């Protein structure tokens, strides 16, 4: 399937096909079909070995992994989750935030526990995960019961009290939302963060410039957010590209940016990472 997509893209057919499906109102449905085809488990024979090497935590079925990661490759799913989890801890520690002293942590868009699964190793905070896909949340409830889970919709609010969390993080979440939705969720996270609480997000930044069209590049280089297929917000089909200046000057209003980790500086991690802190009295 990946080879076919690359061939279609090389020959210029894919974009034309996408636009036809879009005009017919069939784009999101066609993408779900593509995900189901991609989810054919080509690596099933290796799952038993991987199970033993992942601290006995269950491995999600391939269709759920594809919904979250866009690939059925279990090895990559686990490697990314482990690396991202360690980067979370390292980035917080570098900025004077010790997770063991926190009371509550939330993963916004937790999927099927790609990163959240590793919080079982941490003693201290109460761990929460929320997502808008009920299948993903139900899998987490059944297989990663050390955390507490909530089901949200594509739009805020979340079912949490004001100022509940010390730390909220969202991995590959704002990368798949319209600009309007991103603004709404930044405000909602501020509501549930304690004064001085931390938010960590990932974005498609400068390392993704080569994927942009000439017109999109003009906007990106001018510091504007670029969003493709915003009607598919919440799906991997929707892609948002964030210039660093946009994140710092617009998206992070009401937050202070404590740290910035560009894509490629950490193994496996292919997105920019921002650690922000809620500014008291600003939101």
What does the DSSP assignment read for 78-135?
HHHHHHHHHHHHHHHHHTT--GGG-SEEEEET-TTTTTGGGGGG--SSEEEEEES-HH
Name the residue with higher pLDDT: 71 or 60.
60
> Pairing relation of β-strands 255-261 and 239-241?
unpaired
Question: Which residues are CB-contacts of 85 (< 8 A; sequence separation ≥ 6)?
Answer: 115, 118, 119
Domain ranges of the chain: 74-278
CA separation for the pair 152, 108 (Å, rounded): 10
Question: Which residues are CB-contacts of 133 (< 8 A; sequence separation ≥ 6)?
Answer: 67, 111
Tell me which CATH code domain 74-278 carries: 3.40.50.150
Please give the sequence-ordered ranges of beta strands (E in DSSP) within the chain, or none if there are none. Answer: 104-108, 126-131, 148-151, 165-170, 193-203, 226-228, 239-241, 255-261, 272-278
pLDDT band at 128 (very low <50, low <70, confident <90, very high): very high
pLDDT at 235 (0 to 100): 84
Q: Decide if pLDDT at 43 tops 80.
A: no
pLDDT per residue over 82-114, tens digit each? 999 999 999 999 999 999 999 999 999 999 999
pLDDT at 151 (0 to 100): 97
pLDDT at 9 (0 to 100): 46
Cβ–Cβ contacts within 10 Å for residue 89, how many? 17
The 3-state DSSP class for residue 167 equals strand
Q: Between the ranges 6-20, 61-75, 252-266, where is the mean pLDDT highest?
A: 252-266
CB 228 within 8 A of CB 244: no
Q: Quick one: what percent of the chain has pLDDT higher than 70?
A: 80
* CA–centroid distance for 144 within its chain: 19
């Amino acid at each position: 399937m990946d080879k076919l997509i690359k061939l279609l893209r090389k020959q210029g057919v894919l974009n034309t096909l996408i636009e036809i499906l879009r005009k017919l109102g069939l784009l999101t449905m066609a993408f779900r079909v593509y995900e189901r085809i991609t989810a054919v488990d080509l690596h099933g024979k290796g799952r038993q070995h991987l199970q033993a090497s992942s601290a006995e935590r269950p491995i999600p079925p391939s269709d759920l992994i594809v919904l979250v990661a866009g690939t059925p490759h279990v090895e990559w799913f686990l490697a990314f989750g482990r690396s991202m989890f360690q980067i979370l801890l390292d980035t917080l520690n570098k900025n004077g935030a010790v997770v063991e002293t926190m009371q509550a942590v939330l993963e916004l868009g937790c999927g099927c526990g790609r990163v959240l699964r590793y919080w079982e190793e941490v003693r201290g905070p109460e761990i929460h995960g929320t997502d808008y896909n009920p299948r993903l949340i139900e899998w987490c409830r059944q297989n990663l019961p050390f955390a507490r889970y909530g089901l949200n919709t594509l739009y805020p609010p979340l079912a949490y009290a004001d100022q509940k969390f010390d730390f909220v993080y969202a991995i590959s979440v704002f990368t798949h939302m319209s600009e309007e939705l991103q603004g709404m969720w930044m405000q909602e996270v501020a509501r549930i963060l304690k004064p001085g609480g931390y938010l960590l997000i990932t974005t498609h930044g400068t390392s993704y410039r080569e994927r942009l069209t000439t017109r999109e590049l003009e906007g990106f280089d001018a510091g504007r957010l670029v969003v493709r297929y915003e009607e598919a917000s919440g799906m991997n089909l929707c892609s948002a590209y964030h210039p660093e200046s946009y994140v710092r000057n617009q998206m992070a209003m009401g937050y202070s940016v404590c740290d910035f980790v560009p894509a490629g500086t950490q193994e496996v991690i292919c997105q920019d990472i921002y650690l922000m802190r809620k500014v008291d009295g600003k939101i």
